């Protein structure tokens, strides 16, 4: 097996364990056991447990960043941009709910420097939502509200998806993306009296 495939296998096994038990409660030995290899063999592929978490978190962060960039590049106006951002986020989460869950809930366990990197990227990601909402308010398309609070409201709802979504359930990712985009765009849109 080539090194990258082995490495990815390790990350996938770790991802399942991190999600299930949390990063602190998962040991390198647990990861090795899940792959039926010895802890020492695992260290031939990864430098540390934190290194594995970083690979997962960085990969998922890139997926979200790319999805948001594509959404914004294709958008026509603030309402369309917000709907596209939401659909892109839902698709990025549902592409791998387990990994997304590790990204959302376990990144705080990274070492200082990496945590700062992720925090800055999360802030930049959230600013994209905030900025689209601010644009919509300025254009009169959205209700007068606090763009930062509205972005937090939207992103916490989106980040809750891994806590309840089942990829083998009745709701397919596309329908979820559309329904959530509708809820979010309406949440910013004043109903005419």
Residues that bind its own copies in the complex, under the rule CB under 8 A: 21-22, 24-25, 143, 145-146, 149-150, 152-157, 159-161, 163-164, 171, 176, 179-180, 182-184, 186-192
Q: Which is nearer to its own copies, 8 or 115 (CB)?
A: 115
Q: Which is nearer to its own copies, 55 or 189 (CB)?
A: 189
Shortest Å distance, C-beta 22 to its own copies: 6
Q: Which is nearer to its own copies, 70 or 140 (CB)?
A: 140
How far, in Å, CA of 28 to CA of 81, rounded? 42
Q: Which is nearer to its own copies, 38 or 77 (CB)?
A: 77
Shortest Å distance, C-beta 162 to its own copies: 10
Shortest Å distance, C-beta 42 to its own copies: 23
Shortest Å distance, C-beta 117 to its own copies: 20
Number of other residues whose CB lies within 10 A of the CB of residue 64: 18
C-alpha dihedral over 63, 68, 73, 78, to 10 degrees?
Answer: 170
What is the enclosing helix (H) or strand (E) of 108? Answer: none
Instruction: Please check whether residue 32 is in contact with residue 38, taking contact to mean a CB–CB distance below 8 angstroms.
Output: yes
What is the enclosing helix (H) or strand (E) of 173? Answer: helix 173-188
Give the total residue count for the chain: 193
């Amino acid at each position: 097996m080539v090194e990258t495939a082995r490495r990815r296998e390790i990350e996938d096994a770790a991802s399942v364990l991190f999600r299930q038990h949390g990063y602190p409660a998962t040991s390198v030995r647990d990861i090795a056991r899940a792959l039926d290899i010895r802890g020492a063999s695992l260290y031939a592929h990864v430098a540390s447990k934190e290194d594995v978490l970083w690979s997962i978190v960085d990969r998922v962060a890139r997926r979200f960043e790319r999805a948001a960039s594509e959404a914004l590049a294709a958008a026509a106006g603030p309402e369309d941009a917000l709907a596209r951002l939401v659909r892109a986020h839902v698709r990025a989460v549902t592409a791998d709910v387990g990994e997304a869950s590790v990204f959302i809930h376990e990144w705080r366990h990274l070492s200082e420097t990496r945590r700062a990197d992720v925090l800055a990227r999360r802030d930049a990601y959230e600013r994209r939502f905030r900025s689209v909402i601010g644009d919509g308010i300025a254009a009169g398309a959205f209700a007068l509200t606090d763009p930062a609070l509205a972005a937090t409201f939207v992103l916490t709802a989106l980040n809750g998806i891994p806590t309840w979504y089942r990829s083998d359930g009745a709701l397919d990712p596309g329908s979820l993306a559309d329904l959530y985009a509708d809820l979010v765009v309406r949440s910013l849109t004043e109903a005419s009296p």
